[in-house]
Amino acid sequence: MTQSSVEVQWQEQSDRRRRIIRLMLWIVLILLLLLVGFWFWVTQPLFWSAFPNPQRTVDPSRLQTHVHKLSVELGPRDERHIENLDRVAAYIKDEFSKTTSFVSAQDYSVQGDSYRNVIARFGPETGERIIVGAHYDAAGPLPGADDNASGVAGLIELARLLGQQQLPLRVELVAFTLEEPPQFRTRGMGSSVHAKSLRQQNVSVRAMFSLEMIGYFSDAANSQRFPIGVLSAMYPSTGNFIAVVGRLSDWSLARRTKSAMQGASPLPVYSINAPSVVPGVDFSDQLNYWAAGYNAVMITDTAFYRNPHYHTAGDTEEKLDYRRMAMVVEGVYAAVVDLARE
């Protein structure tokens, strides 16, 4: 082999190595872009947000009063204690009536027994509306302070805030019954009844917010868990934040909700958009609004991924953080007002 042949062969091998390196670099770049895109789509990062409002508008002691009433005085709140559920519905109706004269009950039956949602209306009597809901029943004969007396307490205090606001769009607050098993994922869920009634009337819903466990927070290291391991690289391991949860198609709503909530208080707010196959994404009333074709997100402290007392006798009122819970309500209020002014 001549020297020129060797040089040609060496040059060809060198060119081949460079092409391989360039290809590998392009593959790495594409993978990085895909990972960044995946992170961006799932978490909706905000690179700017309004400075948190230093004024507090929700009294934590009022939230604690509601949680005590629901989890101690009016319990148990499971489907077998229908008289207690009626008492809870009456309490919520009385509280709603202090802020608006437009309060109604949506009665329905399950296997011959009567149950009801309680609905409060704010703003003009327009067709399009925003829905904010929380279920008032509990899983079995348990206190259910976080699950979901916290969400109902937030709903009642949200009513007080909305009653002081001139809204350009109709807002409905709905206290649902029968979210918990054995009615979960059945037509007996109060949210299923409500969502289907809206669809049957061809009501336009701008957004639905489901308040599902909003009172448990922890500053302990590794107090936050996740349904899949990859999420631990995207979110904090300390359970001191509130989460906005939606489907992939609810990306815009989740991002806008998070932005409004971050501007309302110092409480950290994170969001996630993921398919329903990820455990927990559809574990509350928002699933029935998705089924009816509406955009909806869940506002949550992440339930059993943080709260070790989930669905136990330990889910009691003294374990909740009412100061942070008040910030959640202020954030939801900010999100509702922002969306109503669109």
pLDDT of residue 127: 82
What is the mean predicted confidence (pLDDT) over 10-20?
74
| Model confidence at 193: pLDDT above 90 | yes
pLDDT tens by residue, 106-141: 999 999 999 999 999 999 988 899 999 999 999 999
What is the mean predicted confidence (pLDDT) over 96-108?
97
> Is residue 258 within 8 Å of residue 100, measured between CB atoms?
no
| Model confidence at 92: pLDDT above 80 | yes
| Model confidence at 39: pLDDT above 70 | no
pLDDT tens by residue, 147-181: 999 999 999 999 999 999 899 999 999 999 999 99
Taking residue 20's Cβ as centre, other Cβ atoms within 10 Å add up to 10
Confidence class for position 1, pLDDT limits 50, 70, 90: low
- Give the CATH architecture of domain 60-340: 3-Layer(aba) Sandwich (3.40)
pLDDT of residue 256: 96
Measured distance CA(243)–CA(214) in Å, rounded: 9
| Model confidence at 198: pLDDT above 90 | yes
Measured distance CA(173)–CA(190) in Å, rounded: 13
pLDDT tens by residue, 263-314: 999 999 999 999 999 999 999 999 999 999 999 999 999 999 999 999 999 9
Looking up tokens 């001191």 gives 240
Return the domain boundaries, the chain.
Answer: 1-42, 60-340
Nearest of 118, 151, 137 to residue 180 by alpha carbon: 137
Nearest of 121, 118, 62, 63 to residue 85 by alpha carbon: 118
| Model confidence at 42: pLDDT above 80 | no
pLDDT of residue 184: 98
Strands (E), the chain: 103-110, 113-122, 129-135, 170-176, 205-212, 242-246, 269-273, 296-300
Confidence class for position 37, pLDDT limits 50, 70, 90: low
Backbone angles phi, psi at 22, to 5 degrees: -60, -40
pLDDT higher at 107 or 51:
107
Helix (H, G, I), strand (E, B) or coil at 244: strand
pLDDT of residue 140: 96
